[in-house]
Structure 1
Amino acid sequence: MTHPSPDTWESAGHRRSVLWVVSLATLVMMFDGYDLVVYGTVLPILVDDPSQLGPLSAGHAGVLGSYALIGVMIGALLAGAVGDFVGRRRMMLINIAWFSIGMGLAALATDLTMFGLMRLFTGIGIGGLVATAIATVGDFAPAGKRNLYNAIVCSGVPIGGVLASLLAIVLRDAIGWRGMFWIGALPLITLLPLALVKLPESPRWLLARGRTARAAEVSARTGIPLPTADDTTTDTDTGKVGFAALATHQYRWGTLLLGMMSFVALLLSYGLNTWLPKIMENAGFDAKGSLSFLLVLNGGAVVGGLLASKVADSTGPQRVITTTFFLAALAMVLLTLGAPLPVLLIAVAVAGVGTIGTQVLIYGFVSGYYSTAARGAGVAWCAGFGRLGGILGPVIGGVLLAGGVSSQSAFYVFAVLAMIGGIVTFFVRNPSHSRTSPSASGLSGGGGVAPSTASHSLQ
């Protein structure tokens, strides 16, 4: 069988099937973004009105905001532990149902304890979805479009954030905070039936698990070409799959650094999405004005993340991620200078690119860094370990504000963390198998494999 080049389609069916996978994965990620932001949009109501769920201080609100992120970390790590064994499709379907039910149960909460437990439950489903969706796209995406398609899928996160911000501005006063959470439960009756019909299992994963006949059947039905034999071998022929592969020599150091990058990016993303409206309210903006900053933050991440991904497909993601981290640090500093509103909005948009947009790029980087046998676990590791940063983000913001620290000082703390993220990114090196795709090029800082000449054995 001949195989398509990195930038072409083997058939109309191949193109159609991949676009369905990308579309479904993007919708899944939108609800991750909706969940990320919806708590921040309703937080002022919960803090200001004790009759909703009970008295809620700023410090307690930060801890409560971290419950969903603890669940996301658990869910991502569980998906990494079992997803490379049981399949991408099955994990996706289970977790769509899981997080939808969790959102509905959170809407029914009658006190802070129940609300926190349901946020934890919801987070487990979302964590499984994030890890599985990104690994799935890594399996299906053509090599020369991997960063772009990953960016499209991961841009679902800030798009979901934009949706949550817009719905809060338009509907929150009418439907209340419970209505905002009921919206998050809609995938159970919309997205799940569509995924049951349109989401195929990955032929690449099936081959990696030795299910050759099933892989051939899926390939014939969907038009997705079967990869070459060495596309599906396990790392260095050790037979190691999943998390065990991450501990091998060629991945050990890179896995640690990629996890640290994700930790910083998600700490910044969740810290800003949780506390930016409250910080801006404290700075004198009214409720709707403060929510508008969330809209700009996530909108900047969508546009900037897609543009940056195009550059990453040409030059390699490492240089781009280093740059966006440092842009985030610069934007945080600008937010402390008392600039006029247009400059503040630009700075917030750039901060969105450098935080949420950077995490989009990191996921693309990760999915190209690992081979098929380790991809699900590698993505799950970064999503799971990174959520430790996401857990700390709301807590740090809550502690700073509860302690009377000024918003300027809080932004300086975030700026320093962004600079640390950029420095860590610089030290990631190519895994020792070094058969890189365009999505993994540029790993060595300046000496990556050129996209035009790289082989594609990791795809």
Structure 2
Amino acid sequence: MHTTSDARHLRTVTWIVVLATVGLVFDGYDLVVYGTVVSTFLRDASHIGVVTPSVAGALGSYALVGVLVGALLAGSVGDTVGRRKVMLCAYAWFSIGMGLTAMTTSATVFGLLRFATGLGVGALVATTGALIAEYAPKGKKNLFIAIVYSGVPLGSLLAAGLAMVLLPLIGWRGMFWLGALPLVTLLPLAYFKMPESVAWLVSRGRLEEARAISVRTGVDLPADEPVAVLLDRPAAQEKAGFAGLFGSRYLFPTLILGLMSATGLLLVYSLNTWLPELMLRAGFNAKGSLSFLLVLNGGAVIGALLGSKVADRFGPKLVVAACFAIGAAAIALLTLDLPLAVRLAAIAVVGMGTSGTQTLIYGFVANYYRTHVRGAGVAWCAGFGRLGGVGGPLLGGFLIAGGFELNAIFYVLAALAIVGTVLTLVVPKAHTPSTPTL
């Protein structure tokens, strides 16, 4: 029988999941929309000045560097000032950044604003996982995180789809103005409907606020916090943010989880950048090669949702390792002369083993750390891992420019997936606090 508290909890979690997912849809949109308009800049200097291919590449990288910096900054800030404040500021920040970018007439200013917008995108990506982990129902945390982070590839697909329909009508500036919509839609809703994390408030010793939000939202006070908190004493003994993340307790797993995320994002950005070109070299036409990219991202979304359900039952570590390994096998299959239907199926599995695995990694990390360092842990995963994202396009370009055969390139990517498997398997068991005697 459902109680009033259960109904309040369900309503609260529904609002948080919907708002967080929509936020990451706009994140995905903001990161990909540049790719839909770059050809306009290359062919018409009247927009932001002369843009050469090398300048276009640099402009595209600035947002990713901003994401890296924003994610790392948000980690410590989120564990210090709270999840809600960081997420509300991130919604406003990247929306204003997109609006200002839509009005620029200079390539230099455009690049600076792309970096600035990336700061907000990174802060949101880094903080969302911590909030969802602290509000999701027990036994469904990986599933809820997978649902929310699937907003990123959905936003990428949305950017491509809207560009096909609207770009000729509203131009590149209109496409960027669409990215500013959260300022007047998502932000007001989140302000009223997204509460602060009860677990975070407890971890900081703010018990009165935690109890008030617990009553209002139907969310129970956490039972796994430090003894000092449960005894109503200040939680300052526990170092929060990066200070706690790189303390002796978490140093080794933090380094391994960062490398694991970087490996995953190296694969994600290598394939998302170069898969159409690799398929062209395999003999497919331009339209057919782009269809592989669609299948890749579709497989990522479906694979992450299915994998998260298994992760909630058996634990995320083995599921992430298995997905990396399956991805490696699927990439290796692409070296064979397969029928088109089988090749497409293999590409979908590759999506599950790369982008889908990265979504599962966010769930793994968010549930691995305790509350006082959780925000920093997810931020480290998103921020340090972004180095792999920056390196992905460079790796593909290096291999293609170096004259590597198509099969050799696929084997290199498969080997990276195996590295991801090994890194996942050596992550030590998460620290669980012993039950206090009160």
TM-score, normalisation: structure 1: 0.85
Aligned equivalent of 1:397: 396
Alignment partner of 1:12 is 2:11 = no
Q: 1:404 Cα shift?
A: 5.4
Structure 1, 207-216 or 363-372: larger mean CA deviation? 207-216
Q: 1:30 Cα shift?
A: 1.5
Give the alignment of 1:280-299 within 5 angstroms: 280=279, 288-299=287-298
CA contact (8 A) 2:300 2:348 kept: yes
Q: 1:158 Cα shift?
A: 1.8
154, 167, 192: which is aligned to 2:149? Answer: 154
Q: Deviations over 1:328-350 (max 9, x none)?
A: 22333333445443233222222
Amino acid in the other structure paired with 1:95:
A
Aligned equivalent of 1:56: 52
CA contact (8 A) 2:362 2:378 kept: yes
Q: 1:352 Cα shift?
A: 1.5
Alignment gaps of 5+ in structure 1:
436-454
Alignment partner of 1:315 is 2:314 = yes
Aligned equivalent of 1:90: 85
Relative distance call for 1:44 and 1:114 in structure 2 (3 A) is same
Q: How many angstroms apart in 2 are the aligned matches of 1:62 and 1:299?
A: 26
Amino acid in the other structure paired with 1:328:
G
Structure 1, 99-108 or 257-266: larger mean CA deviation? 99-108
Aligned equivalent of 2:222: 227
Aligned equivalent of 1:381: 380
Q: 1:402 Cα shift?
A: 5.0
CA contact (8 A) 1:40 1:274 kept: no
Structure 1, 379-388 or 63-72: larger mean CA deviation? 63-72
User: Tell me, what secondary structure is at the counterpart of 2:221?
Assistant: coil
Q: Deviations over 1:49-74 (max 9, x none)?
A: 666653433x6544433221111111
Aligned equivalent of 2:118: 123
Amino acid in the other structure paired with 2:365:
V
Give the alignment of 1:20-419 within 5 angstroms: 20-46=15-41, 53=48, 54-57=50-53, 61-228=56-223, 230=225, 238-280=237-279, 288-337=287-336, 339-402=338-401, 408-419=407-418
Amino acid in the other structure paired with 1:66:
S
Amino acid in the other structure paired with 1:413:
V
Aligned equivalent of 1:449: none
Q: 1:275 Cα shift?
A: 3.3
CA contact (8 A) 1:205 1:372 kept: yes
Q: Deviations over 1:235-283 (max 9, x none)?
A: x994211111112332111111111111011122223223334444565
Relative distance call for 1:144 and 1:207 in structure 2 (3 A) is same
Structure 1, 10-19 or 156-165: larger mean CA deviation? 156-165
Relative distance call for 1:109 and 1:399 in structure 2 (3 A) is farther
Relative distance call for 1:36 and 1:333 in structure 2 (3 A) is farther
Q: 1:19 Cα shift?
A: 1.5
Amino acid in the other structure paired with 2:324:
F
CA contact (8 A) 1:103 1:122 kept: yes
Structure 1, 337-346 or 137-146: larger mean CA deviation? 337-346
User: Tell me, what secondary structure is at the counterpart of 1:250?
Assistant: coil
Q: How many angstroms apart in 1 are the aligned matches of 2:402 and 2:105?
A: 29
Q: 1:289 Cα shift?
A: 4.1
Relative distance call for 1:233 and 1:186 in structure 2 (3 A) is farther
Q: 1:46 Cα shift?
A: 4.7
Q: Deviations over 1:138-174 (max 9, x none)?
A: 1111221111111111111222222223223434444
Q: Deviations over 1:273-305 (max 9, x none)?
A: 233344445656555544433322221111110
Q: How many angstroms apart in 2 are the aligned matches of 1:250 and 1:403?
A: 43
Q: 1:360 Cα shift?
A: 0.8
User: Tell me, what secondary structure is at the counterpart of 2:345?
Assistant: helix
CA contact (8 A) 1:73 1:388 kept: yes
Relative distance call for 1:233 and 1:116 in structure 2 (3 A) is farther
CA contact (8 A) 2:91 2:187 kept: yes
Q: Deviations over 1:315-370 (max 9, x none)?
A: 11111111111222233333344544323322222221111111111111111111
Structure 1, 399-408 or 411-420: larger mean CA deviation? 399-408
Q: How many angstroms apart in 2 are the aligned matches of 1:319 and 1:215?
A: 34
Q: How many angstroms apart in 1 are the aligned matches of 2:43 and 2:399?
A: 19
CA contact (8 A) 2:226 2:433 kept: no
Q: How many angstroms apart in 1 are the aligned matches of 2:23 and 2:295?
A: 22
Q: Deviations over 1:86-131 (max 9, x none)?
A: 1111100000111112223333343443332222111110110011
Structure 1, 165-174 or 84-93: larger mean CA deviation? 165-174
Aligned equivalent of 2:232: none
CA contact (8 A) 1:40 1:277 kept: no
CA contact (8 A) 1:36 1:273 kept: no
Q: 1:191 Cα shift?
A: 0.9
CA contact (8 A) 2:265 2:358 kept: yes
Q: 1:233 Cα shift?
A: 5.8
Alignment gaps of 5+ in structure 2:
230-234
Q: How many angstroms apart in 1 are the aligned matches of 2:214 and 2:257?
A: 32
TM-score, normalisation: structure 2: 0.88
Q: How many angstroms apart in 1 are the aligned matches of 2:284 and 2:183?
A: 37
Structure 1, 121-130 or 248-257: larger mean CA deviation? 248-257
Q: Deviations over 1:351-397 (max 9, x none)?
A: 21111111111111111111111111111111110011111112333
